[in-house]
Amino acid sequence: LEPGPKAVMITLNGYACQRRTPLQHHNTVLTEALLVLAENAEFCEDEGRNIAFKRAVSVLKALPQAVRKMGDLQGLPCLGEHSQRVIKEILEDGKSREVETTLQSEQYQAMKSLTGIFGVGVKTADRWFREGLQQPSDVARSGQRLNHAQQAGLQYYNDLNTPVTKAEADVISRIVEGVVQEVLPGAEITLTGGFRRGKQTGHDVDFLISHPEEGREEGLLPKVVSLLETQGLLLYQKTTRNSYLETKEGPARPPSNMDRFERCFSIFKLERPRHSTSPEEPPQAACEESPRGEDSALEQLAGERQDWKAVRVDLVVTPVSQFAFALLGWTGSQLFERELRRWAGQEKNMSLSSHALFDNKRKQYLRASSEEEIFAHLGLEYIPPCERNA
Ligand code: TTP
Ligand code: MN
Ligand code: MN
Ligand code: MN
């Protein structure tokens, strides 16, 4: 008897922070389908379902090879009955009816394009949808009361929905570095978020700003923002003050997704590079390749074709004593972060945030000056940023 190919059963740990999840993986057909359902659950404010689908997706991303048959899923964590049903259908028919129906539904499409407006969350988008609005141009025409973020979100809708490239992130890094050095020599900036995980594009650019001497970072951000504004580099900004306090009893509130750092959510005005080969060409030749979506009218309302691009940038200031926690917290992915906090709470009786790690049993903060130390405190194997793409 010929020995057939050995069935190799893959085992994976239950928490995403115990697994290595690369950027490139072998199951994109399945993960893209399940992400549609995750997104739709989010639009329906069904957080349980949203997270269940996202956990299933992250398990598939961590697999060393493509799933070919249902047996390949044996023993894997986080694959619920619903996810398995969708996977089975795709393996058998090449597509899932539920996913197709969702993609075609008016509600999903409207929620997708309305939540794509910066400053618009699921609640607002849902209200608008129920009032009959389906896309950004409907919102613009409807005379809705919009806050400043939403106004900017509409005005720069196309740019903000065009992926930011690594090259653009690098240009912005140099701008931020220059301004920060001018305001406080010796301060340091660190690129975080998706770009630190090795992504080649992102929806924004995330930076941490710190200074090796504790306390020197105080009051830095307003000065950085005002210098950026003076130089005409900001289209929008909202700065929030630091509101973090340590107490003997540990973190004042259960750690939530939102941290309390001094921060600035902004929109940069980024010059588009000119094509250096033909300096004689008129300026608009420089952006010939820019995509012209159906909704481009919105941006064109604002004026002529632009030689700049609006780019979302997050600036976060951290005291150096919290830097490692901030770095870990702002590197993502969002699911990886969520799973780290869940691991800390459920398995270690600790509270992890982007500011600190608190041991609830011993009633003390666990200090760390590197991400490696935090993983060690948590009893986890260190996972480098490029393998945190859960
Ligand atoms: P994002 O910038 O939203 O996501 P990303 O950089 O992973 O992906 P993209 O390329 O699309 O930009 O968030 C980055 C990390 O920052 C994410 O892990 C969550 C964290 N974060 C906080 O810790 N606090 C916050 O208030 C926000 C908004 C994000
Ligand atoms: Mn949004
Ligand atoms: Mn980001
Ligand atoms: Mn961000």
Q: Does domain 164-194+201-279+292-320 have CATH number 3.30.460.10?
A: yes
Nearest residue to 342 (alpha-carbon basis) of 12, 18, 10, 11: 18
Query: Is 46 tagged catalytic?
Result: no
Among candidate residues 46, 138, 314, 359, the one labeled active-site is 314
Residue 302 has pLDDT above 50, yes or no: yes
The whole-angstrom separation of Cα 64 and Cα 68 is 12
Q: Indicate the range of 86-90, 188-192, 196-200, 279-283 predicted with least confidence.
A: 279-283
Q: Where are the domains of the chain?
A: 16-102, 106-152, 164-194+201-279+292-320, 322-387
Give the pLDDT confidence score for residue 250 in this predicted structure. 81
Q: Does 314 qualify as catalytic in the annotation?
A: yes
- Which residue intervals of 203-304 are DSSP H helices? 220-230, 297-301
Which ligand gives the minimal distance to the CA of 205?
Answer: 3
User: Contact 62/20 with Cβ under 8 angstroms?
Assistant: yes
Examine the residue annotation and report whether 206 is marked as an active-site residue of this protein. yes
> Which atom of ligand 1 has the smallest separation from the CA of 201?
10
Indicate the pLDDT class of residue 279, thresholds 50, 70 and 90.
low
Nearest CA to ligand 1 atom 16: 330
Q: What is the pLDDT of residue 297?
A: 46
For ligand 1, mutation pick of 242, 334, 336 (most atoms within 8 Å of CB): 334
Ranking 81-85, 236-240, 242-246, 325-329 by mean pLDDT, the lowest is: 242-246
Nearest-CA residue for ligand 1 atom 18 is: 332
pLDDT at 244: 87
- Same fold flag, 106-152 and 164-194+201-279+292-320: no
Residue with the two structure tokens 């259960």: 254
* CA 332 to ligand 1: nearest atom: 18
Q: Which residues line ligand 1 (CB under 6 A)?
A: 193-194, 199, 202-204, 206, 258-259, 329-330, 332-334, 337, 354
| DSSP secondary structure, 330-341, as one string | HH--HHHHHHHH
For domain 106-152, the question of CATH label 1.10.150.20 is answered with yes
Q: Which two tokens stand for residue 355?
A: 């500011």
322-387: which CATH topology? Beta Polymerase; domain 3 (3.30.210)
Strands (E), the chain: 164-165, 188-191, 201-202, 205-210, 234-240, 262-271, 308-317, 350-352, 357-359, 364-365
Check residue 163 and give its pLDDT: 98
> Where does residue 303 fall: left (phi above 0), alpha (psi -120 to 50 degrees), or beta otherwise?
left
Whole-number Cα distances in Å, 80 to 48, 49, 60, 89 = 12, 10, 12, 14
Q: CATH number of the domain at 16-102, please?
A: 1.10.150.110
- Please say whether the beta carbons of 354 and 323 come within 8 A: no
- Prediction ipTM score: 0.94
Q: Which residue has the tokens 């997706």?
A: 57
